[in-house]
Amino acid sequence: MFGGDAPFMEVPLMVTLGELFHGCSKRVLFPKHTQCDACESRGVTDVAFKPKNCKACGGQGVSGPADTDCDKCNGRGRTVPQDKRCPVCDGFGTLEEEGHITVRCGGCHDFLMGALGDLPR
């Protein structure tokens, strides 16, 4: 499991009985969100443009009893016209990248790794 300021994430790790017994190193891949350098995480290319809070979710990005992504703003919490959105991150301000760490296996363990997580969306 990964932690820190980001939400916890469980990543399945397949190992053989021999690897557990003798020990091994495994590379673990996971998705993470990083800052969009093209728009400096603003989500818009025009520095003067000020996005408006989404009226449907009140700027929270979630709606409904299950706190699912808002249908009107796609979880952004703000509305940005398509022509104003950053073409690199599509207005999210973050990019999804593949993170990785190498863990040492040698028994049944939960791994707690800090400071590897996402920027908030």
Digit-coded pLDDT (tens) for 75-108: 878 888 888 889 999 888 889 988 888 988 875 5
DSSP state of 121: -
Of 9-23, 88-102, 106-120, where does the model show the most confidence?
Answer: 88-102
Closest CA to 76 of 91, 56, 66: 91
Q: What CATH code would you report for 37-92?
A: 2.10.230.10
3-state secondary structure of 95: strand
pLDDT at res. 6: 60
Q: How confident is the model at residue 110 (pLDDT cuts 50, 70, 90)?
A: low
pTM for the structure as a whole: 0.55
Local confidence band at 118 (pLDDT 50, 70, 90 cut-offs): low
Q: What are the residue ranges spanned by the domains of the chain?
A: 37-92
- H or E element at residue 100: strand 94-105
